[in-house]
């Protein structure tokens, strides 16, 4: 039987806010953004919430820049403690009624985490998707203290795309972003203008999707106080209320026209599978996807039949056609992805029944579109979009360095599990320690672990200008969105594996497991590459029982960068590793 919770807030009563736009060219490319505490109302019927925000708003202003016109931002850290989020681990995963605690508001018996409350407001800003010199990339340990400004230079020498800027502090990104430290950043270029795509309101609007939870008072009324709640079974925070541009379940009045929505999943951990739903059936054919993380695809694509999947940090550039709809028509954007997401399918036709308490999805609605009486405007969608990239040729990849990374979950007796990334190297023949073996047909490759924690020695030194193939091997039960800083990459393959982890095979450093290419009979996933993933990506989903191969070529800046899972609770503990991009002329001098 499907259990349904009553909705503590009325959906579709707040108008979708449009974050303030900060057009860099109007300021000669010199911007100042204060990072400060503020107050924000997430819903008409909620009291104001304390937040931390860029310019004190949630989301921060949308910064818009032109390709090849550098932007200098003075980030002024004016934060002060305490953290405006109550952080807690509930003592049980379900309440007295058997309802998962992460599906309901309040602390569910958990005590506020004093260490989190005491956070004073150190921050560091990362421009996600930016081709940014290492000194301005927001290294997680190079913090701006409260009272300290930092001036970052962004060359903007990159194609048009929707990026976003957010806090990236070591260990507490999950709290700082949840508190509100995120904003959008749009780069525009001539190619997009040639195509005549909508630019700016009313027909181009960003949709920044984030889940949030709130505390309740002793009468069980929502107080507006932000709550980051985990439980003994689930170490990621999945919150019951979906916000778009900072409002819970908003509504947007649309003209009978084509809209361009720049969609970002800015949630800590939740993956969305978005279905546009009409009176009784999905209407996905109204949506044409024209762009992904790093901008335009080569040609428009339909969204996958089950809906548009966006894990944390993934973006989609969508054209949605409302032009044939009568005034008063309503379409609802629904989410059908249970949490934690593991890639499992869910038919779009059933989206209105997607509520799933055990899947931590009490309220599938995301937002609503309501068609108003206005002039009908139809827009032709260009057949050809990007012309500036192709898939890497087999020749280009033939001699490419190959890197292998295993994603593993380490169970601990006295603390929440650790998610880590094990960097692997082919083991010498005389290696006697723990091994990971990868068998493909007749061939078996033996790997040993060379790094496991963020602080372990760097092992990846990609050479600028040279293609590399990275293999991401998922040995966990959940999907991980893996993000590389700096240049974008392209997906080469997504292949099914079966594996066995040895008894105690995951310890603090080593990994002992055997992997075989090929599908497990119990594996329900199709391991397909969606059409919308065949663009320039910076975040890629790696599903359970799967190896994803990507081709990346770092071309721009030499220095120390990071790659990590973009589930913020994983990134903070300990699914993040450094890499150092190297100019070719320095390679002979490396020890």
Beta-carbon count within 10 A of 207 CB: 22
Are 52 and 37 contacting, i.e. CB atoms less than 8 angstroms apart? Answer: yes
User: C-beta of 206: minimal distance to Cu ion in Å?
Assistant: 25
Cα(47)–Cα(40) distance, integer angstroms: 9
3-state DSSP percent of the chain in helix, strand and coil, to 5 = 10, 40, 50
Q: 101 vs 419, which CB is nearer to Cu ion?
A: 419
Stretches 89-97, 124-132, 347-355, 475-483: which one binds Cu ion (CB under 5 A)? 475-483
Q: 285 vs 477, which CB is nearer to Cu ion?
A: 477
Q: 186 vs 404, which CB is nearer to Cu ion?
A: 404
Are 141 and 170 contacting, i.e. CB atoms less than 8 angstroms apart? Answer: yes
- CA-nearest of 474, 573, 466 to 527 is 474
Are 220 and 340 contacting, i.e. CB atoms less than 8 angstroms apart? Answer: no
- Return the SS3 of 139: coil
Binding to Cu ion (CB under 5 A) within 541-570 occurs at 565, 567, 570
Q: How far is Cα of residue 149 from the mean position of the Cα atoms in its chain?
A: 27
Q: 160 vs 565, which CB is nearer to Cu ion?
A: 565
**241's tokens:** 């209320």
Cα(578)–Cα(286) distance, integer angstroms: 41
**552's tokens:** 């990346």
332: which residues sit within 8 A by CB, 6+ positions away?
276, 277, 365, 366, 367, 368, 369
Binding to Cu ion (CB under 5 A) within 5-44 occurs at none
Binding to Cu ion (CB under 5 A) within 453-472 occurs at none
User: C-beta of 137: minimal distance to Cu ion in Å?
Assistant: 21
Q: 320 vs 565, which CB is nearer to Cu ion?
A: 565
Q: 436 vs 565, which CB is nearer to Cu ion?
A: 565
User: C-beta of 425: minimal distance to Cu ion in Å?
Assistant: 22
User: C-beta of 463: minimal distance to Cu ion in Å?
Assistant: 28
- CA-nearest of 400, 374, 280 to 330 is 280
Q: 225 vs 539, which CB is nearer to Cu ion?
A: 539
Stretches 60-68, 81-89, 349-357, 477-485: which one binds Cu ion (CB under 5 A)? 477-485
Number of residues that bind Cu ion (CB under 5 A): 4
User: C-beta of 310: minimal distance to Cu ion in Å?
Assistant: 15
- Is the torsion defined by CA of 340, 344, 347, 348 positive or negative? positive
Stretches 200-208, 236-244, 479-487, 502-510: which one binds Cu ion (CB under 5 A)? 479-487
Find tokens 């039949």 and name the residue.
305
**255's tokens:** 């003209």
The residue sitting closest to Cu ion, measured at its beta carbon, is 565
- CA-nearest of 411, 410, 409, 417 to 477 is 409
- Phi/psi for 589 (5° steps) reads -100, 0
Q: 419 vs 435, which CB is nearer to Cu ion?
A: 419
Q: 77 vs 268, which CB is nearer to Cu ion?
A: 268
Q: 313 vs 567, which CB is nearer to Cu ion?
A: 567
Q: 283 vs 571, which CB is nearer to Cu ion?
A: 571
- CA-nearest of 352, 207, 215 to 283 is 352
Beta-carbon count within 10 A of 465 CB: 12
User: C-beta of 234: minimal distance to Cu ion in Å?
Assistant: 13
Q: 348 vs 567, which CB is nearer to Cu ion?
A: 567
Are 112 and 225 contacting, i.e. CB atoms less than 8 angstroms apart? Answer: no
Find tokens 């998707």 and name the residue.
129
The angle formed by the CA atoms of residues 26, 30 and 34, to the nearest 5 degrees, is 110
Q: 126 vs 483, which CB is nearer to Cu ion?
A: 483
Stretches 290-298, 326-334, 463-471, 476-484: which one binds Cu ion (CB under 5 A)? 476-484
User: C-beta of 193: minimal distance to Cu ion in Å?
Assistant: 37
User: C-beta of 536: minimal distance to Cu ion in Å?
Assistant: 22
Are 208 and 264 contacting, i.e. CB atoms less than 8 angstroms apart? Answer: yes
Cα(487)–Cα(536) distance, integer angstroms: 9
User: C-beta of 480: minimal distance to Cu ion in Å?
Assistant: 3
DSSP structural state of residue 194: H
DSSP code string of 389-453: --PPPHHHHHT--EEEEEEEEE--SSSPPEEEEEEEEEPPTT--S--EEEEETTEEEEEEEEE-S
User: C-beta of 544: minimal distance to Cu ion in Å?
Assistant: 11
User: C-beta of 311: minimal distance to Cu ion in Å?
Assistant: 9
User: C-beta of 591: minimal distance to Cu ion in Å?
Assistant: 32
Q: 128 vs 262, which CB is nearer to Cu ion?
A: 128
User: C-beta of 406: minimal distance to Cu ion in Å?
Assistant: 12
Are 311 and 481 contacting, i.e. CB atoms less than 8 angstroms apart? Answer: yes
Among residues 36, 40, 480, 573, the one that binds Cu ion under rule CB under 5 A: 480
User: C-beta of 335: minimal distance to Cu ion in Å?
Assistant: 19
> Footprint of Cu ion on this chain (CB under 5 A)?
480, 565, 567, 570
């Amino acid at each position: 039987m499907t259990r349904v919770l009553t909705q503590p807030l009325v959906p579709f009563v707040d108008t979708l806010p449009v974050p303030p736009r900060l057009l860099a060219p109007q300021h000669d490319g010199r911007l100042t953004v204060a990072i400060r505490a503020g107050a924000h109302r997430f819903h008409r019927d909620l009291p104001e919430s304390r937040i931390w925000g860029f310019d004190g708003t949630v989301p921060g202003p949308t910064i818009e820049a032109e390709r090849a016109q550098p932007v200098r931002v003075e980030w002024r850290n004016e934060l002060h403690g305490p953290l405006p989020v109550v952080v807690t681990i509930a003592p049980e995963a379900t309440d007295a009624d058997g309802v998962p605690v992460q599906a309901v508001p309040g602390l569910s018996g958990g005590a506020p985490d004093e260490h989190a409350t005491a956070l004073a407001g150190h921050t560091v800003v990362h421009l996600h998707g930016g081709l940014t010199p290492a000194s301005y990339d927001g290294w997680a340990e190079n913090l701006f203290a409260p009272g300290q400004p930092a001036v970052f230079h962004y060359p903007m020498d990159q194609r048009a795309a929707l990026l976003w800027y957010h806090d990236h502090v070591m260990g507490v990104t999950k709290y700082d972003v949840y508190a509100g430290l995120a904003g959008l950043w749009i780069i525009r270029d001539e190619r997009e203008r040639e195509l005549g795509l909508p630019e700016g309101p009313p027909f181009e609007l960003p949709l920044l999707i984030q889940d949030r939870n709130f505390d309740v008072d002793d009468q069980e009324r929502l107080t507006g106080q932000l709550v980051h709640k985990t439980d003994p079974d689930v170490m990621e925070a999945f919150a019951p209320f979906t916000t778009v541009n900072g409002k819970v379940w908003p509504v947007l009045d649309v003209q009978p026209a084509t809209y361009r929505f720049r969609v970002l999943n800015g949630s800590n951990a939740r993956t969305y599978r978005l279905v546009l739903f009409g009176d009784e059936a999905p209407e996905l054919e109204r949506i044409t996807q024209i762009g992904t993380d790093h901008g335009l695809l080569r040609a428009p694509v339909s969204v996958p039949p089950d809906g548009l999947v966006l894990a944390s940090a993934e973006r989609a550039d969508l054209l949605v056609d409302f032009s044939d709809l009568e005034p008063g028509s309503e379409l609802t954007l629904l989410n059908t992805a249970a949490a934690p997401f593991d890639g499992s399918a869910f038919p779009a036709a059933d989206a209105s029944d997607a509520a799933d308490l055990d899947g931590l999805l009490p309220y599938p609605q995301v937002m609503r579109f309501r068609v108003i009486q206005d002039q009908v405007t139809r827009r032709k969608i260009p057949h050809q979009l990007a012309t500036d990239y192709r898939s890497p040729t087999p020749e280009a990849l033939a001699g490419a360095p190959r890197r292998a990374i295993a994603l593993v979950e380490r169970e601990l007796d006295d603390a929440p599990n650790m998610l880590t990334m094990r960097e692997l190297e082919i083991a010498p023949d005389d290696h006697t320690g723990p091994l990971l073996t990868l068998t493909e047909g007749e061939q078996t490759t033996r790997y040993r672990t060379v790094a496991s924690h963020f602080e372990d020695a760097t092992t990846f030194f990609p050479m600028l200008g040279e293609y590399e193939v990275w293999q991401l091997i998922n040995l966990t039960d959940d999907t991980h969105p893996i993000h590389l800083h700096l240049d974008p990459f392209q997906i080469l393959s997504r292949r099914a594996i079966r594996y066995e982890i040895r008894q105690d095979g995951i310890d603090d450093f080593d990994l002992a497991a055997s992997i075989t290419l090929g599908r497990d009979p119990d594996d329900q996933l199709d391991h397909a590459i969606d059409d919308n993933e065949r663009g320039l990506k910076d975040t890629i989903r790696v599903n359970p029982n799967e190896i994803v191969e990507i081709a990346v070529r770092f071309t721009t800046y030499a220095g120390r960068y990071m790659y990590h899972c973009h589930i913020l609770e994983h990134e903070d503990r300990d699914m993040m590793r450094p890499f150092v991009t190297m100019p070719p002329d320095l390679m002979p001098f490396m020890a």
